[in-house]
């Protein structure tokens, strides 16, 4: 499997990683994983318009980092999706688990490597994050 990081130029990937490191306080390895999964998520959004996908909290940090690079993000969206992939908060969404499970299915379908630990819901499986997020289980971008 390929990493989604190949969707952007190496220098942009490094800038996004640095932003996650600065904003979230993660080390380089973890920050690279977050950015990679954010790119995988955006690929899933591009492939599934109108599906109402939404990232995990961990992956959202990578999306936020990319949004700050507005020109790069707009070009990426145009190239990958043919449209701008909007970020709209879903505060108080009672179906958060359903959205995340639907998103994980779409992310798995991209063909990129999925980092299951970054896709877990808080409290999944008593601290065992991967048990409910495997690509074999069915599980917000706005138009």
What does the pLDDT profile of the chain (143 residues) look like in tens digits? 689 999 999 999 999 999 999 999 999 999 999 999 999 999 999 999 989 999 999 999 999 999 999 999 999 999 999 999 999 876 655 577 888 989 999 999 999 989 989 998 655 544 444 334 444 333 345 44
The pTM for the full model equals 0.84
Q: Which domain holds residue 111?
A: 4-142
DSSP conformation letters of 62-114: HHHHHHTSHHHHHHHHHHHHSS--EE---TT-TTHHHHHHHHHHHHHTTSB--
Q: Give CA angle at 50 (23, 109), nearest 5°.
A: 75
Question: What is the number of structural domains in the chain?
Answer: 1
């Amino acid at each position: 499997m390929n990493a989604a990081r190949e969707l952007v130029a190496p220098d942009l990937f490094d800038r996004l990683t640095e932003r996650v490191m600065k904003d979230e306080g993660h080390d380089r390895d973890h920050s690279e994983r977050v950015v990679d999964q954010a790119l995988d998520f955006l690929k899933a959004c591009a492939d599934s318009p109108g599906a109402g996908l939404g990232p995990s909290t961990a992956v959202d940090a990578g999306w936020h980092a990319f949004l700050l690079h507005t020109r790069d993000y707009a070009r990426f969206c145009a190239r990958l999706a043919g449209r701008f992939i909007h970020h709209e908060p879903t505060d108080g969404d009672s179906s958060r688990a359903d959205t995340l499970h639907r998103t994980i299915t779409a992310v798995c379908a991209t063909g990129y490597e999925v980092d299951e630990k970054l896709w877990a819901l808080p409290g999944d499986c008593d601290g065992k994050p991967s048990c409910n997020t495997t690509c074999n289980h069915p599980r917000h971008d706005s138009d």
